[in-house]
Homo-oligomer: A and B are copies of this chain.
Amino acid sequence: MATIKDVARLAEVSTATVSRVLNGNGYVHQGTKERVAKAITQLNYRPNDVARSLFKGRSKMIALFVPDIMNPFFPELARAVEDMAKKRDYTFVLCNTDDDPAKEVNYVQELKQKSLDGIVIVSSTISGDFIKDVDIPVVALDRILHPSLSSVTVNNRQGAREATTYLQELGCKRIAHVAGPNNVSNAEQRLNGYLDVVQEEDWFRYSFIEQGGYHFDEAKKATERLLTKHPEIDGLFVANDLMGVGALKAAQSLGIAVPDQLSIIAFDGITLGETTTPTLTTMAQPIYKAGARAAEILIEQIEQQNDQRQVEEFTVEIVERESTRRRDA
């Protein structure tokens, strides 16, 4: 690989001048500029980003932390962040944290050694105190982590209210909820939204709620428990789509017809919900937009175009598919 010295030699100028034309800084005579440009193309010269990083202390790299890219919610988020990174000339690093705080801290450590410029993080486990002391920009995505951080989320509580109300309007009389993990902010908000709507109903009891931990299998079992102990359930709000598919499977295994006997609505709007039979009604997030916006905020923060904390909340929208149907009166 040619270096800036080779270019300087060929163009018969100093390296400083080459650097100037490279970065468009300072004055440089039109004629020499052209000589340098010619030398650059002749040698097919590309600046060494590592040397640049060393000098600048910045690397033009950002990372996305997700619990596990194999969870079908995250690929679209990853794609969005990567697209924005590329658009802004950043390299995209992906880290799977398994919701393990030790791994998260370890990643931060290693990436800082590489002068990583910033992190978009989806996490509920990392200590807020740790993350606020990380001295590079961090943007929380999908879940709130710490009040000092910028974040991009959706209106989970309101969305959950709408989902539950939708089931009511369909004519469901007994609406249960398969909840996400109780230490995750968005799961709590979805639970609260559900409670907002049903808590005052005379039939309501807490036994209409079961934990599904955002996992397919757990949700399937949770749904089986719900439908067994409360056969009167005719509507189910599930905290995310992955669990929603688990719920679908549970109903099937118990011989309960969806949507004829039971309407199911979930949350997220991932593609998975379009491939099941019946397809899954859901409160769809603008997943791609949220991911892209998080990356954009991060980059603005890195480049100090906008240094202050930003909190953005997108709106979810119902997507009616086959797993819900109006009940006959």
Contacts and interface: CB of A to CB of B under 8 A. Distances in A.
A252 interface: yes
Nearest to A69: B75
Contact of A94 (B47, B78, B111, B245): B78
A242 B287 CA distance: 21
A75 B82 contact: no
Contacts of A74: 75
Given A48-B113, A50-B54, A78-B69, A92 B94 contact: yes
A127 interface: no
Task: Kindly state the interface size class of chain A when it binds its partner.
Answer: 35 or more
A87 B51 CA distance: 27
Interface string A271-287: 11001110000000000
A59 B95 CA distance: 17
A75 B70 contact: yes
A111 B85 CA distance: 14
A201 interface: no
A275 B96 CA distance: 23
A79 B72 contact: no
Contacts of A275: 216, 245, 249, 272, 275-276
22 contacts: A47-B113, A48-B113, A49-B114, A50-B50, A50-B114, A51-B54, A61-B114, A68-B79, A69-B75, A69-B79, A70-B75, A70-B76, A70-B79, A75-B75, A82-B96, A92-B93, A92-B95, A94-B94, A248-B277, A276-B276, A276-B277, A277-B277
